[in-house]
C-alpha cells in the first residue's frame, strides 16, 4: 500500500468504515492495487441512519441564518484544506487526470455558499385569501434524511451539488459513494466535521447498499446519478415508497456544427466536448452532426486537434487517462466494431494506444459516415469516441439531434444569431450550450429530458427538490363559520327543490 492509499480502517468521527471483508482498489492505469475498501453491512447502515436522523432532528430546528453560518464555515474548511491527497486518490482510483481531479475538489466550496444564502430566502408564497381575516400562505420544510447515490466520474463535485442543497433545506445526508471512488470520497468527508456531529455520513458499498438506502423507512428523499437502467430501478424503488427522487441518468449528447461555425474554434470545442475525462462525462458529446458544406474541412481540423492530446496515467502529463475498468473499454470497443461493420470510417483512433497495453486505455476516436443503424448512435457510449453524421443542412441536423431517447444536453457551434436562438428552442434537452459545451452554473437548473432524468440539481429547483411545501391557513380572530357543522335544516334537500344553495 502506498502513502496515497487509505488505511483499511479509515476513521473520521462521523464516517466510520466497518470491519467487513475488504475489496481491493485497482488503479485503471497500472492495474496495481492501491488500497482497499469495505462495504458496510445492514446492521452498520442501520446504526448510521439512526445517528443521522437524530442529528437532523436538531438541524431542522435551526433558523436559516444559523444553518447558513454552518455552511459558510464548511466552505471555509474546504478552501483551507489541502485537497491534493483527495485528488491523487481520485486519479489512482478511476484514472482522471490530476488537473481535473484537483479542479473538481477545489471548486466545491462555492456551492455551499450559494445554498447557504439561497436557503435564507424562504420564498414561500402568501396567497390571496379566500375569506376575510385569514392569512393563507405556503412554507417549506425538510423531508428528513436524504440518500445520495453517487457516480464515479465526478464523485466529489456531484455529491456536493445535492448535499449542499439538502443541508441548506434542513435535511441530514447519507452518501453512498461509487465503489470505484470510495477512497477519495472518504478522504473528502473529513471536511464535514465542521457540521454538527452525525449530520452527514458515508456508507461505502455496492448496488445493494444503494438499494437498501432507497428502501429504508429512515431515508426520505433520494439523489441519484448513474446509468438509465440503474436510474429506472432507483426511481421505481422510490416511487413504491412515495419518496421524491432527483435522478440524472446520463445521455448521448449531440453537437451540431453549422455552415456558420468558426471551424478552428468548433474543432477545439468538439475535442473537449467529446474527449474530456476520456468521454466519461454524462454530458459528453457522443453524436456530432456536421453540415455537408463544411464537413470535410471540419473533420480535418477536428482530427488535427484530437491528435494533439496526450494519453497516459492521470498523474502524468496527459489529457486522456484510462477508462474506469475493463467492462467500460469492452463496451467502447463493441460499439466501435459495430459501427465499422456497418460502414463507419475511422478518421483517427479506434484502438488501444500502442505501448499502453497495461491499463484500460483507448485512443480518442473519430468515426465518420455514421448512420442511425449503428448502435453507437443509440446507446450511451461513455468513452473517448464520437460518431460523426454528415447532414444536409441546419434543419436536418436539428431533426437528427432530437431523434434520441436521451435528452440531457446538446451543443451547437454557429455565428448565426437566428440559428443560435432556434437551436435553444428546438433542441430537446435539459441544457443547451451555444459555442461553449458542458458549462454549468450554480444558479441554473441542471438535468435532463426524456430518459436522461427526473428533477433538477442546482438553482432554486435544486433546493426545492429537498424540501416540501406546507399550506398554512391562519385566522387571527377565531370565529364560528357558517359552513361548520351542524348544517341548518333549510340547507337540506326538500321535495320540490333545494331551498338553499
Q: Name the residues annotated as catalytic.
A: 248, 282
Kind plus residue range of the DSSP H or E element containing 111: helix 109-118
Q: What are phi and psi of 40, to 5 degrees?
A: -70, 140
Spatial contact of 184 and 200, defined as CB atoms under 8 Å apart: no
DSSP class per residue in 308-354? T--BS-TTSS-SB---SSHHHHHHHHHHHHHHHHTT-EEEE--SPPT
Residue 128 in 3-state DSSP? Answer: coil
- Cα separation, 389 vs 401, whole angstroms: 10
C-alpha cell at 23: 475489496
- Cα separation, 381 vs 336, whole angstroms: 10
Spatial contact of 246 and 222, defined as CB atoms under 8 Å apart: yes
Spatial contact of 345 and 337, defined as CB atoms under 8 Å apart: no
- Cα separation, 123 vs 274, whole angstroms: 39
Environment class of 414 (CB within 10 Å of its CB; exposed 0-12, middle 13-18, buried 19+): buried
Residue 75 in 3-state DSSP? Answer: helix
C-alpha cell at 320: 486522456
DSSP code, position 110: H
Distance, first Cα to last Cα, the chain = 82
Amino acid at each position: 500500500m502506498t502513502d496515497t492509499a487509505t488505511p483499511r480502517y479509515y476513521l473520521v468521527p462521523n464516517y466510520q468504515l466497518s470491519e467487513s471483508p475488504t475489496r481491493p482498489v485497482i488503479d485503471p492505469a497500472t492495474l496495481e492495487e492501491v488500497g482497499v475498501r469495505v462495504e458496510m453491512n445492514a446492521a452498520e447502515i442501520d446504526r448510521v441512519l439512526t445517528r443521522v436522523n437524530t442529528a437532523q432532528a436538531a438541524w431542522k430546528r435551526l433558523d436559516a441564518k444559523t444553518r447558513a453560518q454552518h455552511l459558510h464555515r464548511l466552505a471555509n474548511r474546504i478552501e483551507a484544506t489541502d485537497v491534493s491527497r483527495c485528488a491523487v486518490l481520485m486519479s489512482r482510483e478511476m484514472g482522471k487526470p490530476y488537473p481535473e481531479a484537483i479542479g473538481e475538489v477545489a471548486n466545491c466550496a462555492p456551492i455551499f455558499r450559494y445554498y447557504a444564502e439561497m436557503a435564507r430566502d424562504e420564498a414561500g408564497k402568501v396567497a390571496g385569501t379566500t375569506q376575510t381575516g385569514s392569512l393563507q400562505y405556503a412554507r417549506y420544510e425538510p423531508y428528513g434524511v436524504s440518500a445520495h447515490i453517487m457516480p464515479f466520474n465526478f464523485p466529489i463535485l456531484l455529491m456536493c451539488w445535492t448535499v449542499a442543497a439538502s443541508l441548506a433545506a434542513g435535511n441530514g445526508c447519507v452518501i453512498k459513494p461509487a465503489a470505484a471512488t470510495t477512497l477519495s470520497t472518504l478522504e473528502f468527508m473529513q471536511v464535514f466535521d465542521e457540521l454538527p456531529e452525525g449530520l452527514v455520513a458515508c456508507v461505502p458499498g455496492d448496488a445493494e447498499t444503494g438499494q437498501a438506502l432507497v428502501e429504508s423507512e429512515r431515508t426520505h428523499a433520494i439523489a441519484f446519478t448513474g446509468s438509465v437502467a440503474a436510474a429506472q430501478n432507483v426511481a421505481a424503488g422510490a416511487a413504491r415508497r412515495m419518496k421524491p427522487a432527483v435522478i440524472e441518468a446520463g445521455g448521448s449528447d449531440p453537437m451540431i456544427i453549422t455552415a456558420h461555425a468558426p471551424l478552428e474554434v468548433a474543432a477545439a470545442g468538439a475535442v473537449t466536448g467529446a474527449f474530456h475525462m476520456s468521454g466519461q462525462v454524462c454530458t459528453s458529446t457522443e453524436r456530432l452532426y456536421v453540415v455537408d458544406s463544411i464537413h470535410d474541412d471540419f473533420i480535418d481540423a477536428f482530427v488535427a486537434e484530437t491528435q494533439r492530446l496526450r494519453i497516459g496515467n492521470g498523474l502524468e502529463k496527459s489529457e486522456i487517462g484510462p477508462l474506469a475498468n475493463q467492462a467500460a473499454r469492452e463496451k467502447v470497443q463493441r460499439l466501435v466494431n459495430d459501427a465499422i461493420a456497418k460502414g463507419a470510417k475511422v478518421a483517427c483512433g479506434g484502438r488501444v494506444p500502442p505501448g499502453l497495453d497495461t491499463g484500460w486505455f483507448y485512443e480518442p476516436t473519430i468515426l465518420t459516415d455514421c448512420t442511425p443503424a449503428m448502435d453507437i448512435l443509440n446507446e450511451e457510449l461513455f468513452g473517448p469516441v464520437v460518431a460523426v453524421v454528415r447532414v444536409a443542412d441546419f434543419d436536418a441536423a436539428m431533426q437528427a439531434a432530437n431523434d434520441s431517447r436521451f435528452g440531457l444536453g446538446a451543443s451547437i457551434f454557429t455565428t448565426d444569431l437566428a440559428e443560435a436562438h432556434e437551436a435553444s428552442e428546438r433542441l430537446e434537452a435539459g441544457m443547451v450550450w451555444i459555442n461553449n459545451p458542458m458549462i454549468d452554473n450554480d444558479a441554473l437548473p441542471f438535468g435532463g429530458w426524456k430518459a436522461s432524468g427526473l428533477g433538477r440539481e442546482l438553482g432554486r429547483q435544486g433546493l426545492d427538490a429537498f424540501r416540501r411545501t406546507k399550506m398554512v391557513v391562519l385566522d387571527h380572530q377565531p370565529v364560528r363559520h357558517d359552513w361548520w357543522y351542524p348544517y341548518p335544516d333549510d340547507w337540506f334537500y326538500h321535495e320540490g327543490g333545494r331551498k338553499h344553495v
